[in-house]
Amino acid sequence: MLTGHQTWIFPNRPVIRSSAAVGGPYEAKGPLADDFSLLHGDLWVGQDSYEKAERKMMEEACELAIREAGMEKADIQFFLAGDLLNQITPSCFAARTVGVPFLGLYGACSTAMESLALAAQLVDSGAAQRVLCGTASHNAAIEKQFRYPTEYGSQKPPTAQWTVTGAGVAVLTHDGEGPRVTSATIGRIVDMGLSDPFNMGAAMAPAAVDTITAHMRDRAISLHDYDLIATGDLGRVGHPIAVDLLKKHNIDMPYERFTDCGILIYHPDQPQVLAGGSGCGCSATVTYGHILRRMRQGELRKVLIIATGALLSPLSFQQKESIPCIAHAVSIEFA
């Protein structure tokens, strides 16, 4: 049900019946390692290309989530997924393995919440009873596609973020027990003219603030209702910019509960991660692993996840375009 301008309220409160987060070697050394369902010791995941490794992790996350829900693949009615690789091939190949009706999505790193929002909408409206949704990213596959060949060993500025190697997936159902999706705010494109792909956090921060503001307006609620408010992957550069913008707009944000998945996933002193995590797998693994674990343990009751996405391509950057950004927010409650 549409409320306000861009927010869906879900009166039937679809249930996140199960979820799974699969991670790689950098995530295994991070502070959230215990929240992953499965961790891989190397980037290859037993495959002969990084792209296949990403697909493998997505397939593993799907299998784990379906099994945890006590289901078989055939019980799933729709699979909603996307990722950062060209033509979202890891998602498409994983969809071949899952073998159910598939809706491919692309929202860059916002795909985690785009897929959850749409899956919840389908379940809430009765268009589905059991939906699998999720996303993935792979550090080396993304580096070679978006930046430089990994063999160059090129250096990056400290504003750059480190693409998460991981997949996060959830099974949504119309009944059963578990955290419930209560609303979703679909973001607009916000483009402040920034064009530096080594500083995505700064580019995406205004989109996050735009969607947070829309969520408050449409739902007419206070952000103090939430126990945790997490942006997707603004990182240590972008998140403070979002804080500044919120303050400038006089948004009454409980800043002590306002965090970012890209900050949470790595230790600040982990080598190479620079300004923090990014990639589709960032908010997906942090939400479906860490945050949902805390909800299931009763530590958090109501959360808002705002997954941010930078909708550039290497070619649009070369053609000197700025970076169009977007953010989708989903609220999850576990009473």
Footprint on this chain of a second copy (rule: CB under 8 A): 1-2, 5-6, 8, 49, 51-52, 77-78, 82, 84-89, 92-93, 95-96, 99-108, 114, 118, 121-122, 125-129, 186-189, 191, 311-316, 319, 321, 324, 326
CB of 153 to a second copy, least distance (A): 22
Cα–Cα–Cα angle for 198, 92, 276, nearest 5°?
25
Of 6 and 37, CB closest to a second copy? 6
The tokens 């969520």 sit on which residue? 215
Of 74 and 272, CB closest to a second copy? 74
Please give the C-alpha separations between residue 162 and each of 127, 191, 201, in angstroms, as whole numbers: 37, 22, 11
CB of 151 to a second copy, least distance (A): 17
Q: What is the CA radius of gyration of the chain?
A: 18
Of 52 and 302, CB closest to a second copy? 52
CB of 117 to a second copy, least distance (A): 8
Of 82 and 179, CB closest to a second copy? 82
Of 18 and 135, CB closest to a second copy? 135
**Separation of alpha carbons 213 and 208, rounded Å:** 9
Of 37 and 211, CB closest to a second copy? 211
CB of 8 to a second copy, least distance (A): 5
Of 21 and 88, CB closest to a second copy? 88
CB of 103 to a second copy, least distance (A): 6
Of 11 and 41, CB closest to a second copy? 11
Residue 197 burial (CB count, 10 A): 17
Q: What distance, in Å, lies between the first and last C-alpha atoms of the chain?
A: 22
The tokens 């589905």 sit on which residue? 128
CB of 323 to a second copy, least distance (A): 10
CB of 76 to a second copy, least distance (A): 11
Which of 257, 175, 226 is CA-nearest to residue 333?
Answer: 226
What φ, ψ does residue 259 adopt, rounded to 5°? -135, -170
Q: Helices 89-98 and 50-68: crossing angle, nearest 10°?
A: 40
**Separation of alpha carbons 32 and 74, rounded Å:** 32
**Separation of alpha carbons 285 and 35, rounded Å:** 9
CB of 142 to a second copy, least distance (A): 11
Please give the C-alpha separations between residue 53 and each of 19, 48, 57, 214, 296, in angstroms, as whole numbers: 20, 8, 6, 37, 30
Of 228 and 280, CB closest to a second copy? 280
Q: What's the residue count for the chain? A: 335
CB of 5 to a second copy, least distance (A): 7
**Separation of alpha carbons 210 and 212, rounded Å:** 6
The tokens 């959830």 sit on which residue? 170
Asked if 56 contacts 162 with a C-beta cutoff of 8 angstroms, the reply is: no
